[in-house]
Structure 1
Amino acid sequence: MSDMSSARYFHRASPPHISTLILLAGLAALSMNVFLPSLPIMAEHFQTDYRVMQLSVGIYLGCSAFLQILIGPISDKFGRRPVILWGLALFMVATVGCLLAPNIEIFLAFRMAQAVIATAMTLSRAVVRDLYDDEKAASMIGYVTMGMSVVPMVGPAFGGLLQEYFGWASNFWMLLIFAALLYWITWSDLGETKMQSGKTLGAQFREYPELLTSPRFWGYTMASALASGTFFAYIGGAPFVGSNIFDLDPKRLGLIISAPAVGYMAGNFISGRFSTRIGINRMILLGCIISSAGPGLALLTLIAGSINPLAFFTPMILIGLGNGMTIPNATAGALSVRPHLAGTASGLTGAMLIGIGAALSAFAGTLLTDETGAAPLLILMLICGLMGLVTIGLVVMRERQIQN
């Protein structure tokens, strides 16, 4: 297999530079959360309710999940490079549509189309799996997502500043410029890493049952999806909590809402450094425990009656830390079940993660009112974290039974 250590920048004959994969995954993450501090202002601009405006997160995630089911087999058939380039081009068109939308209905339609950038996130992981095996893939995915975590960490903060000085549309102009630059970088640097498949596209899709009947694949996929569900529920509810319950302005909300990304960067660094040594199952187990601790601590603080912005948002760092340990290792585990179907597995894993996240994000938005406060959100996040812990626990027990 090729190795990224031999990569030469802007040389398609060599493996892609790791920074290219970081940027591809980062754009997908940025498009999801950069405008979160602007949601209340955007609701006023489009003359709609906050809950309708919040659908711009939920439907984006839902469409992203659906597209990832298609992206994997298509890239296994036609290659990673052309699918990524087409995804970037279509994302730019959709972003222009968001900027020109005259009403909320058209905005949401183009926002759904923006989900095509899921190709970048899904296939950046598949490229890593094309180049590495097993625990080494977990380490490299950890490093990729560690770098990627800088983007969602600064994204809402930067989005809040853009909103403050230039209005909500500046967030989408920034996405458009970033995507155009990244298209050029990808065209110049990303060569093909997937051997051409001799199978028809229909045959590629018919290989899904090979994954769907694997208990290990489901175990890793659901552990990742449920653990990350704590973060997606947070995305759906945190803007409301910050603006309506704690009365934070967009600039302050943009800074404090990024708390999980701080932990996520640290968790991915731990994955990149120690996954090969500790093993992916132990890393996932520890990650799920830590992810559950975040909302658990915030809920205890709320019960004690001393809730405030710092008491609510600071424990959310643990969600990011746990997710940074869980997601790279669970992804590598899922992709290693059937290595020849790495693209398909990456797409299906991503679809489950984002699909469950979309449902949780939308559900969290419906739970919160000024009267309920933050309690329903914290309870939902805690349940997700504990379910992820149970899932990986079952995987570990099954493997011990097989070994014995």
Structure 2
Amino acid sequence: MNLRTVMILGALSAFGPLAIDFYLPAFPAMAQAFATDERQIQTTLAVYFLGLSIGQLAYGPAADRFGRRKPLLFGVGLFTLASLACAYAPNLQTLVMARFVQALGGCAGMVLSRAIVSDKCDAVASAKVFSQLMLVMGLAPILAPMLGGALVNVAGWQSIFLSLSLFSAAALLAVVLGLPESLPAHVPRQPLSGALRQYLRLARDPLFIGHALTGGVAIAGMFAYIAGSPFVFIKLYGVPAEHYGWLFGINAAGFILVAQFNARLLSRRPPGWLLVRAVWVYLLAGLALLMVSALHPAALWPLLLPLFVCIASLGCIIPNASACAMNGQGARAGSASALLGCLQFSVAAMAAALVGVLHDGSAVPMSLVISLCGLLVVSVALLTRRRQAKAPA
């Protein structure tokens, strides 16, 4: 797969995360603009997670029926228009609805980029491409909070959504000019009427579900961090809001570096082998984070060290779990990618909500959810590995 295609797919994959990370520094300004508190503004984040989960299920069957290109163009166009609606929302209720529609558009890139990689690559090559996509996707959490904070200070919170609209419009043009249809002409198109049956088949596939949940629960830990870190960094430890993006970016840089190292390791080891080892790193770092949080340290740095390891290890877990889940899906790659993404973001939404429910004015809720995700990730990964070893060749 050439560099241009990887860059376009990376941009498309970044839509979902970018529309989250970019506007986090704007929460206080948005709360002030709509005469409410930040807890109500967090509703726009929760509804976005919901839209990402639901929307992916629609794009999967559409991609298997009409090919990858047409649903992708529709989704990116919808994201562009919804971003404009967010920028000019007259009240919080309108903003919440626009964010839901924005998520419905944004998830197209996430679903279809995975399907396109599956169309063109085998399991090992897919894991390498997914690792390369982490480089492009990882720039979003590094740059987005910093740029978002700067934009809010200079041009107001609306400028964030206007920038998202411009970014998606540029990506739409890139798809039109540089991303041809990837589903081979000889592959039979799957009827929309069989969508539910296709999802049920995938749900009964223990290897697919196992790998999907391994990646999904790991991503849930990341979203627990995304939901909890603004309070922990800014409110609890007094980090200036304009410096929050730097801390966020350091963790994202670790994620990127590990993803690129993972791409090199794949020349020597298969993705499943790397996956079952990376999950242990995630678990141990999560437990260390919980132990440090329970001690309520006066300084922030003791928390940052295990947190960095947690987020960095995802650079190995996510691409390998995705590659293992998508391996051999063939004509149903669109539906498989959709169900994979739906599971991931459904679990992530629950983890983010749990951080809010457990909120007690300390770093413990965030750390507890991350460590629980680590326990589940290891359990699911080991169980899936055993089932795979017993499966007939």
Q: TM-score, normalised by structure 1?
A: 0.91
Separation in structure 2 between the aligned mates of residue 402 and residue 94 of structure 1, nearest angstrom? 45
Q: 2:189 matched to 1:171? A: no
Name the SS of the counterpart of 2:327 in structure 1.
helix
Q: 2:145 matched to 1:156? A: yes
Name the SS of the counterpart of 1:278 in structure 2.
coil
Residue 94 of structure 1, CA deviation? 0.7
Separation in structure 1 between the aligned mates of residue 208 and residue 190 of structure 2, nearest angstrom? 23
Change (3 A) 1:290 1:153: farther
Separation in structure 1 between the aligned mates of residue 29 and residue 36 of structure 2, nearest angstrom? 10
Match of 2:310 in 1: 319
Code of the aligned partner of 1:100: Y
Moved more, 114-123 or 267-276: 267-276
Match of 2:111 in 1: 122
Moved more, 329-338 or 297-306: 297-306
Name stretches of at least 5 consecutive residues in structure 1 with no aligned partner.
Answer: 10-16
Mapping 1:245-284, distance limit 5 Å: 245-284=236-275
Separation in structure 2 between the aligned mates of residue 27 and residue 175 of structure 1, nearest angstrom? 9
Residue 179 of structure 1, CA deviation? 1.0
Name the SS of the counterpart of 2:137 in structure 1.
helix
**Alpha carbons 2:50, 2:346 under 8 Å: kept:** yes
**Alpha carbons 2:218, 2:314 under 8 Å: kept:** yes
**Alpha carbons 2:15, 2:107 under 8 Å: kept:** no
Say which of 59, 74, 77 aligns to 1:71.
59
Separation in structure 1 between the aligned mates of residue 263 and residue 364 of structure 2, nearest angstrom? 34
Match of 1:13 in 2: none
Say which of 6, 25, 33 aligns to 2:13.
25
Mapping 1:227-376, distance limit 5 Å: 227-370=218-361, 373-376=362-365
Q: Percent identity?
A: 27
**Alpha carbons 2:213, 2:343 under 8 Å: kept:** yes
Name the SS of the counterpart of 1:173 in structure 2.
helix
Separation in structure 1 between the aligned mates of residue 298 and residue 57 of structure 2, nearest angstrom? 41
Residue 19 of structure 1, CA deviation? 1.2
Residue 188 of structure 1, CA deviation? 0.3
Name the SS of the counterpart of 1:101 in structure 2.
coil
Code of the aligned partner of 2:326: L
Separation in structure 2 between the aligned mates of residue 176 and residue 199 of structure 1, nearest angstrom? 32
Residue 34 of structure 1, CA deviation? 0.8
Match of 1:91 in 2: 79
Q: TM-score, normalised by structure 2?
A: 0.94
Code of the aligned partner of 1:217: F
Separation in structure 2 between the aligned mates of residue 329 and residue 230 of structure 1, nearest angstrom? 17
Match of 2:124 in 1: 135
Separation in structure 2 between the aligned mates of residue 195 and residue 402 of structure 1, nearest angstrom? 29
Separation in structure 1 between the aligned mates of residue 263 and residue 309 of structure 2, nearest angstrom? 18
Q: How many aligned positions are there?
A: 390
Moved more, 136-145 or 294-303: 294-303
> What do residues 101-136 of structure 1 show as CA deviations (whole Å, max 9, x unaligned)?
121111111011110211011111111111011111
Match of 2:28 in 1: 40
> What do residues 206-253 of structure 1 show as CA deviations (whole Å, max 9, x unaligned)?
222221111101110111111111101111111122222123332111
**Alpha carbons 2:218, 2:377 under 8 Å: kept:** yes
Code of the aligned partner of 1:292: L
**Alpha carbons 1:262, 1:320 under 8 Å: kept:** no
Name stretches of at least 5 consecutive residues in structure 2 with no aligned partner.
Answer: none
Residue 337 of structure 1, CA deviation? 4.6
Code of the aligned partner of 2:207: R
**Alpha carbons 2:190, 2:331 under 8 Å: kept:** no
Residue 276 of structure 1, CA deviation? 4.2
Moved more, 297-306 or 319-328: 297-306
Separation in structure 2 between the aligned mates of residue 49 and residue 107 of structure 1, nearest angstrom? 15
> What do residues 356-384 of structure 1 show as CA deviations (whole Å, max 9, x unaligned)?
111211221232243xx111211111001
**Alpha carbons 1:290, 1:321 under 8 Å: kept:** no
Code of the aligned partner of 2:264: R
> What do residues 136-172 of structure 1 show as CA deviations (whole Å, max 9, x unaligned)?
1111111112222112221112212222322222211
**Alpha carbons 2:190, 2:332 under 8 Å: kept:** no
Separation in structure 2 between the aligned mates of residue 256 and residue 160 of structure 1, nearest angstrom? 13
Change (3 A) 1:402 1:82: closer
Name the SS of the counterpart of 2:50 in structure 1.
helix
Q: What root-mean-square deviation, in Å, do the aligned CA atoms of Structure 1 and Structure 2 show?
A: 1.9
Separation in structure 2 between the aligned mates of residue 303 and residue 366 of structure 1, nearest angstrom? 18
**Alpha carbons 1:301, 1:307 under 8 Å: kept:** no
Code of the aligned partner of 2:78: L
